Amino acid sequence: MSSVFSYDFRYDDNECETETSVLQAEVEDSIGDIYLNFVEPGSLAQGGGAIDDTRHKLLRAKHEQFIHDAINGLPSNFAVLDSSQPWFSFWCLNSLDILGCDISQQLRDRVVDKLSRLQSPSGGFCGGSGQLPHLAGSYAAVMAIVLVGGDKAYRTIDRQGMYSWLMSMKRPDGAFTMHADGEVDVRGVYCAMVVASLLNIMTPELIKGAAEFIARCQTCEGGIGPYPGVEAHGGYTLCGLAALDILGKTDALRLDRLARWMSARQLAFEGGFNGRTNKLVDGCYSYWMGGAFPILQKALKRSRTEGYIYDRAALQRYLLACCQDRRAGGLRDKPGKSPDLYHTMYCLIGLSLSQHYVGVEPSEQVTDITSVYSVPVRMMQWGAMPASLLVLGLRSNVVKPVHPVYGVPYTPLASFVKYFYALPPLTDQLV
């Protein structure tokens, strides 16, 4: 990819038009119109020209207002997302934190009060009042409490109840059901490993077979699908790879195949990622794919001096030029789509990870996976490397660095880990 904009980078359907190729052409048309506005007039020629990347601006104030408008009340059509209540807290708090916006104590107290009422007596968190505890909802609730911070918030989590409930979701093949009698896929393993690693409740029984299940989900393409035998997908790839990093077992995958498949997800014309072969670009994959690259780099033992194996500038260009709603604020999937809290958060995480080179130098990697106390050490080894900062456009576009495995800024994550690893573990050994 290049800072030279050219229509030569467009998708070639080899004169075999399909519904997918027609949609691809429409998306490229809309993105091309936007990128042409950034082409330097003196370089404009047939098919493109040099892009002036100094003009990109993160609309921080508008995004903050978009989030606060949602916090203050959503329209009635959002009732269909009643089972996603912990997610709204996570999306809003994380977006505000990444942007560097103030989070009032009143808002923090509201979130803790809400989430405490969604915690099930049997352990875990429900998506809404009167619903079953759910792994995705539990993950979002715990991450929201990470962002709230403080001992009072931390103490609302029923740690023993969470462990008992997670074990009740555990399957003999190493996977987890998302809820009682629910679906089974890689998301469940990721959510369980994130929650368990943060709360210091990892045990040999909980993690047994998890890495092997994820490895069976790697496809012939190289990416990771939701469960064995199903097409590789960007979201499941991040979930599987991140869970393996928590377990210290990324070597369970064919990393060469994975690297090839992941690299193919960045689109030459758009600069953003798609999530599957022959699918459209989508801003949310800025995290689901962009976040997987630092973990892959660590697994491949690549030094920061070797650089990422994707084009960081091209991703930032797509996010800043094409995914911001310049009227209402918030970020979106692609031009022509409406902004929403989900895409706002994942676009911002992707922006952060493309600005900050985060990783662990190969010579410094902790390889011990036998002790429960190796978990927080490996977790907090990750860090942003200032010398490798890359900010497209205005210098004020820089946002906070984010942990690629947990998807939140480092400061609240470190405080949470410090609190829970001062508590007695359920076991000392993981093998």
Candidate list 239, 284, 323, 347, residue with the active-site label: 284
Say which residues have a Cβ less than 8 Å from residue 141's Cβ, sequence separation at least 6.
86, 89, 90, 115, 118, 119, 125
Of 404, 369, 405, nearest in space to 247 by CA: 369
**Burial of 38 from C-beta contacts in 10 A (0-12 / 13-18 / 19+):** buried
Q: Which of 52, 53, 173, 340 is catalytic?
A: 340
Which residue has tokens 């984010």? 402
Residues 6+ apart with CB under 8 A from 237: 223, 224, 258, 261, 262, 288, 289, 292
Residue 332 known to be catalytic: no
233 is known as an active-site residue: yes
Active-site hit among 35, 154, 236, 285 = 285
Strands 358-359 and 48-50: unpaired
Based on the residue annotation, tell me whether 368 is a catalytic residue of this protein.
no
d(CA 403, CA 291): 9
- The one catalytic residue in 63, 108, 302, 343 is 343
Among the listed residues 260, 279, 304, 337, the single catalytic one is: 279
57 is catalytic: no
Q: Is 284 a catalytic residue?
A: yes
Q: How buried is 223 (Cβ within 10 angstroms: 0-12 exposed, 13-18 middle, 19+ buried)?
A: buried
Given the residues 276, 332, 356, 378, the one annotated as active site? 276
Closest CA to 111 of 103, 120, 102: 103
53 given a catalytic annotation: no
Instruction: Judge whether 134 counts as a catalytic residue.
Output: no
| Strand-pair partners of 126 | 133
Q: Which residue carries 């928590």 as its tokens?
A: 246
Residues with Cβ within 8 Å of residue 334, at least 6 apart in sequence: 27, 30, 31, 272, 280, 281, 282, 283, 322, 323
Catalytic residue check, 285: yes
Residues whose CB is less than 8 angstroms from the CB of residue 303 and which lie 6 or more positions away in sequence, other chains included: 361, 362
Q: Is 333 a catalytic residue?
A: yes
In whole angstroms, give the CA distance from residue 119 to residue 162: 9
Give ∠ CA 343-344-345 in degrees, rounded to 5. Answer: 90
Set 158, 185, 282, 325: catalytic member:
282
List active site positions.
233, 276, 279, 282, 284-285, 333, 340, 343
